[in-house]
Amino acid sequence: MATETYPRKVTYCGVCTLPPEYCEFGGTTKKCEEWLEQNHPDMHAKLYSQETIEQNLSALSLEAQKRAEKDSQKKAAKAVAAEARAQEQRASSKILIKRIERNKRKYVTAVQGLEAFGLDIKKVAKDFGKKFATGSSVTKIPGGGEEITVQGDLSDDIYDYVVETYKDIPEDNVECIEDKKKKAAG
Amino acid sequence: MFKKDITPGAKTKVKSSAQRGIRTKILDTYPLLTPYIEDILPKKEQLDLIKLPDRVSLYTLGTTPLFFQHMDDALMPHLALVHRYPGCFARLRIDRGAIRFVLSGATLMTPGLTSAGGRLPGDPEDAEGRYGREDLEPGTVVVIEAEGKENACMVGVLKAGTAEMKKVKKGQACEAGHYLGDGLWALNLG
């Protein structure tokens, strides 16, 4: 061990972010295993060989094994449930793009609900500002939570931009709303 | 400490004088890091300080987390750092049965260390001295490795001296500071 050179390179699992040898405790073992097989076949062969598994099992007493088994099952179920919930929330949550009249001919555009898709709204706000060359900020809304406020009437542009850049957001989940008066023809 | 997912607070640059202070403190606490300090914390680089909930501050270099600190307690290494320089910290080993408890954030109990699969300093089966020879005092920052695994799974502060542990073989051994998969580990420093 003393001959090891530092810094050591450590591979982390792409699914659960732990070092692959700890995947078995993470609850998403199946997926981790598949990931490892695809990305680091040599490591996969080492960690998931029959021999290692048997060795792991023999290290514990029978009773402890059973308990560990139960525990890991519970954990796996939990992880699955959490993922399902997240997905459902993702499917049901909507991004609202609102045009708000500020002063007769002047508008601001408010974008809500981006955080439900795992986006960092501060960063997105910055991107909006850069893309449209306007002021763009994150503001708190009275009901709790935050939204992005962009200066100017950009609701259609933002709609296109969001659909275009964030591919994992289904287009149906993005909605434009006109606050107050209708837009003049078109 | 980081059982729940955490949201990082403001990121600020560390003053170069404070940075020097941190550097000497790191070397004081972990003298074994001396040969690598230039790699870990180059003199010219700008350290960042990220405030975390519960008065914890995290020192990072760009997007790599290095050390974290609760108020003015000892600086503790982030596990990503431990994985890169495993030999530079005081290490203990737990048996296989204890891993799952540690990974769910439990306080480490002594039997996990004293049983056949565990290793304390001066263990007769540890011929090469990987886990040290001298007993550790309570309050020492230790890295917890696991039986049959290469990488460490936890960083914590000893609650009881290792000499006492060997005698009593009961009770809490090490407070869970930072473990694999906790909020600090999951923290994204993009």
Q: What is the dihedral of CA B179, B182, B185, B190, to 10 degrees?
A: -170
- Burial class from Cβ neighbours inside 10 Å (0-12, 13-18, 19+) for residue B45 reads exposed
Asked if A26's CB is within 8 angstroms of B85's CB, the reply is: no
Query: Do A122 and A98 share a structural domain?
Result: yes
Q: Tell me the CA distances in angstroms from B137 to B13, B17, B129, one per residue in order.
A: 34, 31, 18
**pLDDT tens-digit series, residues B39-52:** 888 888 888 898 88
Q: How many CB atoms within 10 Å of residue B19?
A: 17
| Nearest-neighbour CA in chain A from B86: distance (Å) | 8
Look up residue B149 and give its two tokens.
Answer: 């695994």
Contact residues, A window 122-161, toward B, CB-based 8 Å cutoff: none
**pLDDT tens-digit series, residues B152-174:** 888 888 888 888 888 888 888 88
Alpha helix locations (H) across chain A?
A: 29-39, 41-47, 50-58, 62-92, 121-132, 155-165
Selected residue of A21, A25, A61 to mutate for chain B interface (largest B Cβ count, 10 A): A25
Domain containing A57: what range? 20-91
Single out the residue in A53, A70, A91 at which a domain terminates.
A91
| Nearest-neighbour CA in chain A from B27: distance (Å) | 17
Asked if B39's CB is within 8 angstroms of A1's CB, the reply is: no
Bridge partner list, B108: B174
Query: Do A134 and A155 share a structural domain?
Result: yes
The residue assigned the tokens 């405030």 is B51
Do strands A95-103 and A174-178 pair parallel, antiparallel, or not at all (unpaired)? Answer: parallel
In percent, how much of chain B has pLDDT > 70?
96
Predicted confidence at residue A185, as pLDDT, reads 42
Query: Do A103 and A85 share a structural domain?
Result: no
* Residue type for position A106: K
Predicted confidence at residue A121, as pLDDT, reads 81
**Is A12 part of a structural domain of the chain?**
no
Asked if A17's CB is within 8 angstroms of B186's CB, the reply is: yes
Query: Do A171 and A97 share a structural domain?
Result: yes
Contact residues, A window 12-71, toward B, CB-based 8 Å cutoff: 16-19, 21-22, 25-26, 55-56, 59-60, 64, 68, 71
Regarding predicted confidence, which is higher, A50 or B21?
B21
- Of B22, B28, B64, B63, the closest CA to residue B43 belongs to B22
| ipTM (interface pTM) | 0.72
Query: Do A124 and A51 share a structural domain?
Result: no
Query: Do A155 and A173 share a structural domain?
Result: yes
Single out the residue in A91, A113, A138 at which a domain terminates.
A91
Average pLDDT across each block of 10 residues of chain A; the chain has 186 residues. List them in order.
62 80 74 82 78 64 72 78 79 79 83 78 85 86 80 83 79 73 45
**Is A5 part of a structural domain of the chain?**
no
Predicted confidence at residue A1, as pLDDT, reads 41
Question: Is B89-179 the same fold as B11-84?
Answer: yes
Q: Which residues of B touch A51 (CB under 8 A)?
A: none
Query: Do A170 and A106 share a structural domain?
Result: yes
CATH code, domain carrying A150: 3.30.780.10
Single out the residue in A65, A91, A117 at which a domain terminates.
A91
Predicted confidence at residue B102, as pLDDT, reads 85
Rounded mean pLDDT of chain B?
Answer: 84
Regarding predicted confidence, which is higher, A53 or B4?
B4
Selected residue of B151, B182, B184, B185 to mutate for chain A interface (largest A Cβ count, 10 A): B151
Is pLDDT at B146 greater than 80 in this prediction?
A: yes
* Residue type for position A160: D
Measured distance CA(B76)–CA(B87) in Å, rounded: 15
Sequence-distant (6+) residues with CB within 8 A of B15 are: none
Query: Do A158 and A97 share a structural domain?
Result: yes
Is pLDDT at B29 greater than 50 in this prediction?
A: yes
Predicted confidence at residue B87, as pLDDT, reads 82
- Does domain B11-84 correspond to CATH entry 3.40.1080.10? no
Query: Do A104 and A47 share a structural domain?
Result: no
Sorted by where each begins, the domain ranges of chain B are 11-84, 89-179
Asked if B87's CB is within 8 angstroms of A1's CB, the reply is: yes
Chain-centroid distance of CA B90 in Å reads 9
Whether the CB-CB separation of B165 and B113 falls below 8 Å is answered with yes
**pLDDT tens-digit series, residues B90-134:** 888 888 878 888 888 888 888 888 888 788 877 777 666 677 777
- Of B108, B88, B86, the closest CA to residue B160 belongs to B108
Q: What's the structural domain count of chain A?
A: 2
| CATH class of residue range B89-179 | alpha beta
Asked if B84's CB is within 8 angstroms of A6's CB, the reply is: yes
